[in-house]
Structure 1
Amino acid sequence: MKFPEPPLSVARETDAATPIRPVLALIVLCLAEMLVLLDNTIVNVALPSMSTALHGSFSQLQWIVDAYVLTFAGLLLAFGHLGDRYGRRRVMIIGLVGIGVASVAGAMAGGIGQIIAVRAGMGVFAAAVFPATLALLTTLFRDPRARAGAVAAWTAMAGFAIAIGPTAGGWLLEHFSWRSVFWINVPIALVLVAAALLLVPESRGAHTGPLDVVGILLSLSGVTTLVWTIIEAPQHGWTSQITFLGYAVALACLAAFIVREFRAPYPVLNLRLFAIRRFSLPALSIAVAYFSMFGFLFLITQYFQAVREYTPLEFGIHSLPFAVAIGVGAPVAVVLAQRFGTTALIVSGLAVLAVGMFLAGQVTVDSPYAGIVLVSMILMGLGLAIVQGPATEAIMSSVHEDEVGAGAGVNDTTREVGGALGVAVLGSIVASTYKTQIWPVIDSIPDSLTSAADKDFMRQTAMSIIGLRERQATSPFAGRIEQIIDQMKIAVLDGFHTATLVTVGAVIVCAVVVAIWLPWRRSENQQSVLLGWAETKEPADVS
């Protein structure tokens, strides 16, 4: 199948820019990226508070995270193409304004259902921002070394956002209600819109083909149905008819999407990119790494706040080593990749990630923080950092300049689909284990010990521990309640252990695939491959 040849880019504003302007523009782009990531990490910290205040179930808590991730992941490709056609800065600004407006709606929400709906809307606008930031910095910095440095800064910002997210969220929740995690986005978005208009030059491609609406709808339907099925499987049963129906619908949509992209004259996903090993295998590595990271963050939230019973601020402070490891490791990894090659760094990063996740699965209720907990978090952070920086640089170096928005969309989609599946799969494993071990215990509790509403809340999530202890502190049955709480904590950690083993297996398999198929020597000139595309219109194998 031959795809239409992309014309040369019409974005040339940055060629005449002063040396300082690209740097200032890069700062704005990194801060816009931070806003998108910050929103997700802050909301993770607020989940227990939302759960207690609004009586949200474990599945609903997953959907607060995944509603954002699903719309985000499903629309990244579309907004990447829209940026290439109509202006990357313009699309980014629209997204920033939308995040601000949606945040106001989230702060005023009155129930879990409304929050999930708002989060889905925020994911739509975040999808407009995220690929534009990476595409714009790619056009700002054309020199390979300068571009690698800019990518390093972009990936380091991800670590910084993860670092300040839980801590800032914890501080907000110490002084304000959970609604503050939405209000904080509004002034940040307004400042970034003004800064982008002043400092970031517009950039667009000359690609004028129509948007592949059918492809977008098929991809969004397939991914959404798949993750919904995984999240709801513990409630309906892993072998129930509705679960199998969900898998069938998801696979049908995704298969139709692939067929559509091969036949569409202007596909939303250029499938020839996946014939390039320096594009497809780094993309796979990022997906698996983010599968691990998002799942780990969701689970560590349960551990710190349900098992260890930390306050939100304490959780934020104790999670800092994980985030600092990402922030420090990402730029160093990009520099090392320039010397030792992308493959060596990605394989090493996946190995470190697997060790960190395995150690996390060995944590018990009584494990000291300054021990296996701390070591596992640092290794997880370093592993993710070592993978994502070099992998991102490899992906963007494999994309024609006129399609950097679409390339950034593919790069970001792999992250978010991997992250959504991480929360869904690992969260569902924990939920299934919790249901098996705790529901019989809760059913045996006499009605005189706790109310029917409390029983139902205990069935849904271990976060009920927080409110349960407070309400039963003066009860004559407080001793029995403490025994039940201990059982709930053990059930969460048993599920955590199983989930980590699944993750370790996925990471190891990915590392082996990359080690075998991704070339260990860097090509002498990757740009020659891109020129070869323009001349032949056929996919090239970057080996």
Structure 2
Amino acid sequence: MLPAVDVTTPGRATRSTWIALAVLMLPVLLVSVDNTVLAFALPVISEALAPSGQQLLWIVDIYSLVLAGLLVPMGALGDRFGRRRLLLIGSAGFAAVSALAALSPDAPTLIAARALMGVFGAVLMPATLSLIRNLFEDPSQRRTAIAIWAAAFSGGAALGPIVGGFLLEHFAWGSVFLLAVPVMLPLLILGPILLPESRDPAPGPLDPLSVLLVLATMTPLVFAIKTAASSGVSLLVVGCLLVAVVAGVAFVRRQLARPVPMLDVSLFTRPAFTGAVLANLLSVFSLVGFLYFLSQHLQLVSGRSPMEAGLVLVPGLVVTIVAGLVVVRIVRHVPAHIVISCALALNAIAFTLVALTGSGGNDLVLLAAFCLLGAGIGAAETLSNDLILAAVPAQKAGAASAISETAYETGAVLGTAVLGSLLNAAYRHQVELPAGLTDAHQEAASETLGGAASVAGTLPEAVAGPLLESARTAFDSGVQLTSGIGAILMVLAAILAHRTLRQAG
């Protein structure tokens, strides 16, 4: 007689599990709404606070920069002290600091508030994906749950322009940050009731030095990219890159040497895992870089109101949601590496369309390009996150979620830092200022398109007209350049994904 074989079947999710998932979507919606609203509020913030080009980028970047640096340690902290507990703490802090950001009187204060939002965002975000990993044991249901999680990001992005457009047309720019309060209140009330607590039964020790090494890697890296794009390569840029490399190497060596590392870097020896992380990062890179220039073009070049600009983006964002849900069925019949590489190729086509539209690009072409980009983002994000989570046991879900979230936020940082900085540099090189401007007007108009629009509003039509025409032409010339670079990067990403993800099927 053959010995009995114990086959364990993953448990199926119940109705209460799906309700808990709905509660978990609230912070995800908030973070995605915040990112999209901010992109659309940039022109209004430029006029209200008169930030420099660098300050404008830091308003966008500082949140993702802090978030990317703290996600891994906060994911490990959630594994140790409880993921639900960290989720509730982070949600309360995020809502409170968002309210403070709404009252910022100048650009430096807003940058500081955004940094604090990044701290609390890092506390809450790994908990959402790691709780999903523990709530859904069945692989098929987990993939559907992750598709819904990814769709919540896109849904928030779709809601952000509409709600944000309404707020920007009727209230001050600070109102866009106050959205966090009504969104977080239901989570803080229902979370303790519906969400089960989970943690790693054998967590590793806290490691403050590893936290410092992560920050010492990310901060100078992004600063070097931004500075090189705006001012060229200098000793400061080279020095920052060296610090980032040294700190990064020290972090990896420390993790390999520790019995229980904060981040299991040995996971990156698996090509499929590394490919999934890179697909995640590069998808977000393309989305954030695209939104950075598209939101400004629609408002400051095409002359649309914030609400109208938001409505133009809705079809592409709906496509993102649909693609994330449909790909769950497609991947049952088509290998994941083929689906993800095709999705990244769609991103390349989208950037190519923008690059070929010429100065003063057609809004319908931009809409079509964003729909293609949305399809690629929705498919690539869903599958890459599923591959990352499937690579680790459930008790290490916090660490895996942190890796996934770090890739997401690093992509957001680099999307703005690389494409945004290149766009600003091209704008400054191309813009031609009319004679007769004061030194203050020259400085503001030469920094950003929003600055030029603000200056033009104070000038006679005879001077304002040529200034706006030159600024808009310079901006769209920069968009063509950065879109061409984005297309090349996405082609390389598609090739990389196809080769590395073959092991995943």
* Structure 2 residue 425 is matched with structure 1 residue 453: no
Contact persistence 1:225–1:247 (CA under 8 A): yes
The AA in structure 2 aligned to 1:137 is I
Match of 1:10 in 2: none
* Structure 2 residue 461 is matched with structure 1 residue 467: no
Match of 1:257 in 2: 251
Deviation at 1:324, TM superposition (A): 1.1
The AA in structure 2 aligned to 1:58 is G
Question: In structure 2, which of residues 92, 104, 128 is the aligned counterpart of residue 109 of structure 1?
Answer: 104
Question: In structure 1, which of residues 369, 373, 379 is the aligned counterpart of residue 366 of structure 2?
Answer: 373
Distance 1:385 1:413 in 2: 18
Contact persistence 2:272–2:504 (CA under 8 A): no
Match of 1:321 in 2: 315
Question: In structure 2, which of residues 415, 439, 447 is the aligned counterpart of residue 422 of structure 1?
Answer: 415
Q: What RMSD over aligned residues (CA atoms) do the two structures have, in Å? A: 1.7
CA shift in 2, pair 1:337/1:520, >3 Å = farther
SS in 2 for 1:92: helix
Contact persistence 2:13–2:136 (CA under 8 A): no
Contact persistence 1:233–1:243 (CA under 8 A): yes
* Structure 2 residue 122 is matched with structure 1 residue 127: yes
Contact persistence 1:348–1:386 (CA under 8 A): no
**Could you list the runs of 5+ residues in structure 1 that have no partner in the other structure?**
1-13, 523-543
Q: How does 1:30-109 map to 2 (within 5 A)?
A: 30-109=25-104
Match of 2:494 in 1: 511
Question: In structure 1, which of residues 285, 294, 302 is the aligned counterpart of residue 296 of structure 2?
Answer: 302
* Structure 2 residue 381 is matched with structure 1 residue 398: no
Deviation at 1:234, TM superposition (A): 4.0
CA shift in 2, pair 1:310/1:364, >3 Å = farther
Deviation at 1:469, TM superposition (A): 3.5
Match of 2:346 in 1: 352
SS in 2 for 1:207: coil
Contact persistence 2:354–2:361 (CA under 8 A): no
Distance 2:138 2:205 in 1: 31
Deviates more, 1:186-195 or 1:280-289: 186-195
Distance 2:228 2:114 in 1: 22
The AA in structure 1 aligned to 2:338 is A
Question: In structure 2, which of residues 278, 282, 307 is the aligned counterpart of residue 284 of structure 1?
Answer: 278
**Could you list the runs of 5+ residues in structure 2 that have no partner in the other structure?**
1-9
CA shift in 2, pair 1:456/1:521, >3 Å = closer
Contact persistence 1:342–1:520 (CA under 8 A): no
Q: How does 1:129-168 map to 2 (within 5 A)?
A: 129-168=124-163
1:191-242, Cα deviation, whole Å (9 max, x unpaired): 211111121111111123212221121111211111112222344x222222
Deviation at 1:305, TM superposition (A): 2.0
Match of 1:22 in 2: 17
Contact persistence 1:283–1:414 (CA under 8 A): yes
Match of 2:337 in 1: 343
Match of 1:529 in 2: none
Deviation at 1:479, TM superposition (A): 3.2
Match of 2:465 in 1: 482
The AA in structure 2 aligned to 1:134 is L
Contact persistence 1:34–1:157 (CA under 8 A): yes
Deviation at 1:18, TM superposition (A): 8.4
The AA in structure 1 aligned to 2:33 is L
Distance 1:168 1:19 in 2: 33
Deviation at 1:397, TM superposition (A): 0.9
Question: In structure 2, which of residues 195, 204, 210 is the aligned counterpart of residue 209 of structure 1?
Answer: 204
SS in 2 for 1:109: coil
Distance 2:154 2:92 in 1: 24
The AA in structure 1 aligned to 2:56 is L
The AA in structure 1 aligned to 2:354 is A
Deviates more, 1:290-299 or 1:88-97: 290-299
Deviation at 1:147, TM superposition (A): 0.9
Match of 2:170 in 1: 175
Contact persistence 2:90–2:122 (CA under 8 A): yes
Query: Identity percentage over the alignment?
Result: 32
Contact persistence 1:222–1:249 (CA under 8 A): yes
Distance 1:513 1:234 in 2: 25
Aligned length: 496
